[in-house]
Amino acid sequence: MLQTDPCFLTAAEAAAAIKAGTLTSERLVRSCLERIAVRDADVKAWLHVDPAHAIRQARELDKRSPMGPLHGLPFGVKDIMDTADMPTTQNSAAYQGHRPTRDAACVAIVRHAGAVILGKTDTVEFAFNARKAASRNPYNLDHTPGGSSSGSGAAVGDYQVPFAFGTQTAGSHIRPASFNGIYALKPSWGTISREGVHLISVMLDTVGWYGRSVDDLTLAAQAFRLPGIDDSPTKSVADMKIGYCETPYWSRAEKGAQTAMTAAAERLRRAGASVEEIVLPAHFADLADAHSTIMFGEGRVAFYNEYLANGHVLHPELRKTVEGGRGATPERLVAAYDLADVCRKEFDAIAARYDAVLAPAATGEAPKGILNVGDWIFNGLWTLLHTPCVAIPAVRGDQGLPVGIQLVGPRLSDARLLAGARAVQHVIDVEAEERLRVLLAA
């Protein structure tokens, strides 16, 4: 397979070629299917792909006038999201063969914007702390692609599809982006409908997407009409002010994360940006416990019906959450909600002074094995604070695996944050060609 094959284009490049008439959706979809045929027996990103159905979708789109910013582009769907024309199994023994009658809202929106739904990607069961996906890291099959958006991260990282949905309740979206050397947007909480997506936590669950450039992320943001996305200004790196935030959990950072943060900050400074260290107030250190309390307290409620109907086949961790709540007492929940309210306002005020806040995206390189999908400590606080986050690849660690960083902004500043990320992506991500070379050699 050659680098010139359409599957190796970014979504933005493919969209431009389709618009110019030099590429058809069918040719792009066939190229992705060929890549899947070559690689997915090893990477195991997908739970369901119907090549004939995907090609029919593409041919129909090639007959139509452009439907929207995603016209003709293949999209992978995390298998906790309902799809009317494909199974939705939740990677659970209780849902094998389950066929919803309608699309999740996020799936319906990208269809209306012209996307081809290529298939369903593997996930940790219910995207919670349960049985793991079979997916492997495309850079080293002995390592995890992260979770719970395991298949989505691996599929985009391995050039099997240009776009895929992920979700984040703790760190399930941004962390796999770091592990697989790709870009991701976790939008501000509440900006993307969760209708038809299996619920864990009302306070935390967020739908996002993966791509291979900031322009890719922006295309999907346009499809979802994120506030201000059509009016976001062009920025110059030399005019930018970046906050450098190791967070209260920096002691958990491994060498890969330390290297990624240092490299990103140095590259930004060399490009002329002002980089200023941020030390968050001491009580932000309590956000990790607050996050866990809310996740398990609301998770107990969300899974109670599954427990009653399918408790005999649910993973023991899910049953434990329902039966005990993992210590999420009413008193602890109220305290967690109150702390989050305080910290959201405080962080918004801090972040408003910067074009973006630079923070770790993961503790380091992807762990070995698929049972350990990684530590969410550098993600959970942003999920709880409801901030937008953009993942950008930064370095490769000592094991040769990608490690990224994330840019964070105040709540509902998604368009502004994407504009800043677009300005700095080529300053921070200097190894895109090398990542492709490594995968082509695999």
Position 250 pLDDT exceeds 50? yes
Position 1 pLDDT exceeds 50? no
Tens digit of each residue's pLDDT (9 = 90 or more) over 212-245:
999 999 999 999 999 999 988 889 999 999 999 9
Top-confidence residue, 326 or 176: 176
pTM summary value:
0.98
Q: What percent of the chain clears pLDDT 90, i.e. is strictly above it?
A: 95
Q: Report pLDDT for 136.
A: 98
Q: Report pLDDT for 2.
A: 53
Q: Which whole number is the average pLDDT over 248-271?
A: 98
Q: Which whole number is the average pLDDT over 70-95?
A: 97
Nearest to 210 by CA among 102, 88, 112, 74: 74
Q: Report pLDDT for 232.
A: 80
Q: Report pLDDT for 324.
A: 82
Q: Report pLDDT for 442.
A: 80
φ/ψ of residue 210, rounded to 5 = -105, 150
Q: Which whole number is the average pLDDT over 160-170?
A: 98
Average of per-residue pLDDT values in the chain: 97
Tens digit of each residue's pLDDT (9 = 90 or more) over 111-144:
999 999 999 999 999 999 889 999 999 999 999 9
Contacts by 230-235, CB closer than 8 A, 24 or more apart: 231/415, 232/415, 232/416, 232/418, 232/419, 233/419, 234/419, 234/422, 234/423, 235/355, 235/419, 235/420, 235/422, 235/423
Position 436 pLDDT exceeds 60? yes
Q: Which whole number is the average pLDDT over 378-406?
A: 98
Domains and CATH numbers, the chain: 6-282+340-441 (3.90.1300.10)
Position 182 pLDDT exceeds 60? yes
pLDDT-derived band at 379, boundaries 50, 70, 90: very high
> 316-324 vs 287-302: helix axis angle to the nearest 10?
100
